């Protein structure tokens, strides 16, 4: 028997190729004769060697059952099983309650181009929930990303936060209608996460989530931290389960887990004064019936073209946000206008991530080391760095402070800055090579000069004393990417506003917002 070779995703969440097998059947004879029989394998998605794409849908005839939609050269057919060179592939066996909760199309239907599809999604979102244009666009991008999550190495989560009556649950129910294989859960346990992900690779919609200090909450957060990157496995009862996939987390209180926050695109909601239609059960069925087959066809037609985007507009973001942007842009099919809009919509995420990063010990210690490099002369002692780190933590409302032992451990074990002992203290020797390493790692972690300067100086476009390494590594910028000036450049650049007289180096006066004519003497102004 020949060995079929295909790309598949079976209910163990693994991807690869596999051979046929033979089974031994006893018969009424003096001899035991081996009769070859086809292997039966459960799959939830596959690309066959002949180019056919097989995906899971809900049966039109029996909605409580599952079947396959098979796409071959743009033509579709439905089938309960797929035979390939002696192997038989069948739908996964799921608990009936899971089948009923799982959002699936019953077929695939003609879909519009990427621009029109985005417009349809944003219009549906705007009809039922009151959020900003930027948030609307991010939600639409997330929806499309869920249809290609298995093509990506990283997928972002969507975090929805707001008080009661802000429309959080309505948005989650809307996402249930539009995301791929959505399951809306008011409560979910860690065990159910990896079991569901292994079986059907769903988009998990976790509503009204409030993480506490109990063991279940800690386990759930740990699983969520590792669920946005391909390749991670959860080991349980001697088996390896995959936890990867898009997830939505809706809560009244913002997440306080810094590692989890980095994986999120945050949507903030407030009470609305708009007269919005009700998204009842009938409206959900109508919306899902319209959009799910269309989105399924979009997946089947473009699946093999999808990959993380490397658009240059994303380079200004910190690494984790850059990864999220690349994933959200994957389904935009290289449409430059949509990717530029995505970059603009993600600007607000930069500020919230900067604030949340004070919960990351490595980032805070790196920020403190970078700041002391520019303030102090000579070597950097661990106790001095600890005082600086704790000062920044207090200023940013953090209650937890660090000990010198913890700071020293982070320096040595996490950041790779090895300390030496001198007298009663440990220190990092500041050489030119170490200075370059400090700037290189700070840059890679999304730190720049605006992080260590006073807010009023940054608002005025100033970065204080010059630093050749900051200039070399492109760190003389604010959080919007605008260039900051040094004192040496100030003499040339500073000029009074003709309207209010405020001295400024900006094209727009910070005092009265008057637009100023470009200064021809200014070598830095474009």
CA distance linking residue 269 with residue 480, whole number of Å: 24
Q: Which of 324, 351, 334, 357 is nearest to 138 (CA)?
A: 324
DSSP state of 506: S
CA distance linking residue 221 with residue 224, whole number of Å: 5
- CA torsion through residues 164, 168, 174, 175, sign: negative
Q: Parallel, antiparallel, or unpaired: how do β-strands 87-90 and 40-47 relate?
A: parallel
CA distance linking residue 257 with residue 222, whole number of Å: 10
Which pLDDT score, from 0 to 100, does residue 11 have?
43
CA distance linking residue 143 with residue 291, whole number of Å: 11
Which pLDDT score, from 0 to 100, does residue 377 have?
80
Domains defined along the chain, listed by start: 7-93 (no CATH), 114-270+306-350 (3.40.50.300), 360-447 (1.10.10), 454-526 (no CATH)
CA-to-CA separations, 28 to 31, 34, 103, in angstroms, rounded: 8, 13, 48
Q: Which of 199, 146, 184 is nearest to 14 (CA)?
A: 199
Q: Which residues of 27-39 are buried (b: 16+ CB within 10 A; e: fewer)?
A: eeeeeeeeeeebb
Q: Any bridge partners for residue 267, and if so which?
A: 160
CB 138 within 8 A of CB 345: yes
What does pLDDT average to in each consecutive run of 10 residues of the chain (526 residues)?
Answer: 47 41 39 61 91 94 94 91 88 90 94 96 96 96 97 94 90 97 82 74 84 68 78 71 86 74 87 91 96 97 94 87 94 96 90 68 94 90 95 86 94 94 91 94 89 85 87 86 76 71 73 71 38
CA distance linking residue 472 with residue 463, whole number of Å: 15
H/E stretch holding 444 = helix 432-444
Which pLDDT score, from 0 to 100, does residue 355 have?
56
Which pLDDT score, from 0 to 100, does residue 5 have?
47
Which pLDDT score, from 0 to 100, does residue 462 have?
83
Which pLDDT score, from 0 to 100, does residue 188 have?
72
H/E stretch holding 234 = strand 233-236
CA distance linking residue 20 with residue 2, whole number of Å: 7
- CA torsion through residues 326, 330, 334, 338, sign: negative
């Amino acid at each position: 028997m020949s060995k079929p070779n295909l790309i598949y995703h079976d209910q163990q969440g693994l991807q690869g190729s596999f051979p046929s097998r033979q089974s031994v059947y006893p018969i009424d004879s003096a001899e035991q004769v081996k009769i070859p029989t086809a292997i039966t394998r459960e799959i939830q998605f596959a690309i066959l060697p002949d180019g056919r794409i097989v995906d899971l849908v809900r049966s039109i005839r029996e909605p409580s059952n599952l079947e396959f939609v098979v796409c071959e050269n743009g033509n579709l057919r439905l089938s309960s099983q797929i035979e390939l060179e002696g192997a038989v592939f069948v739908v996964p066996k799921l608990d009936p309650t899971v089948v009923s909760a799982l959002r699936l199309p019953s077929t695939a239907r003609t879909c519009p181009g990427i621009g029109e599809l985005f417009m349809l999604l944003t219009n549906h979102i705007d009809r039922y929930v009151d959020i900003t244009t930027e948030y609307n666009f991010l939600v639409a991008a997330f929806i499309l990303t869920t249809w290609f999550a298995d093509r990506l190495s990283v997928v972002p989560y969507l975090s929805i936060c707001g008080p009661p009556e802000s429309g959080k649950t309505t948005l989650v129910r809307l996402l249930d209608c539009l995301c791929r294989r959505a399951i809306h859960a008011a409560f979910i346990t860690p065990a159910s996460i990896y079991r569901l992900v292994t079986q059907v690779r769903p988009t998990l919609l976790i509503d009204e989530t409030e993480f506490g200090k109990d063991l279940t909450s800690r386990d759930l957060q740990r699983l969520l931290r590792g669920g946005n990157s391909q390749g991670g496995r959860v080991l349980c009862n001697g088996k390896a389960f995959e936890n990867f996939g898009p997830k939505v987390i809706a809560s009244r209180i913002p997440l306080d887990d810094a590692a989890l926050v980095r994986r999120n695109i945050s949507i903030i909601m407030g009470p609305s004064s708009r007269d919005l239609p009700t998204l009842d059960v009938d409206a959900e069925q109508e919306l899902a019936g319209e959009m799910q087959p269309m989105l399924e066809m979009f997946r089947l037609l473009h699946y093999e073209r999808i990959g993380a985007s490397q658009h240059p507009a994303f380079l200004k973001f910190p690494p984790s946000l850059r990864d999220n942007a690349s994933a959200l842009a994957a389904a935009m099919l290289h449409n430059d206008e949509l990717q530029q809009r995505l970059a603009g919509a993600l600007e607000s995420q930069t500020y919230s991530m900067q604030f949340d990063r004070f919960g990351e010990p490595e980032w805070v210690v790196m920020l403190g080391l970078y700041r002391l490099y520019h303030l102090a002369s000579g070597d950097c002692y661990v106790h001095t760095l600890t005082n600086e780190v704790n000062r920044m933590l207090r200023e940013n409302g953090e209650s937890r402070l660090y000990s010198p032992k913890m700071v020293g451990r982070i320096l040595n074990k996490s950041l790779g800055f090895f300390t030496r002992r001198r007298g009663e203290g440990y220190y990092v020797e500041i050489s030119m090579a170490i200075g370059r390493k400090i700037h290189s790692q700070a840059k890679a972690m999304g730190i720049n000069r605006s992080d260590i300067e006073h807010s009023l100086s940054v608002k005025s476009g100033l970065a204080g004393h010059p630093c050749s390494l900051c200039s070399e590594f492109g760190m003389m910028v604010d959080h919007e990417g605008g260039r900051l000036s040094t004192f040496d450049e100030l003499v040339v650049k500073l000029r009074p506003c003709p309207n209010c007289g405020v001295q400024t180096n900006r094209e727009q006066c910070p005092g009265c917002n008057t637009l100023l004519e470009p200064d021809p003497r200014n070598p830095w102004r474009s």
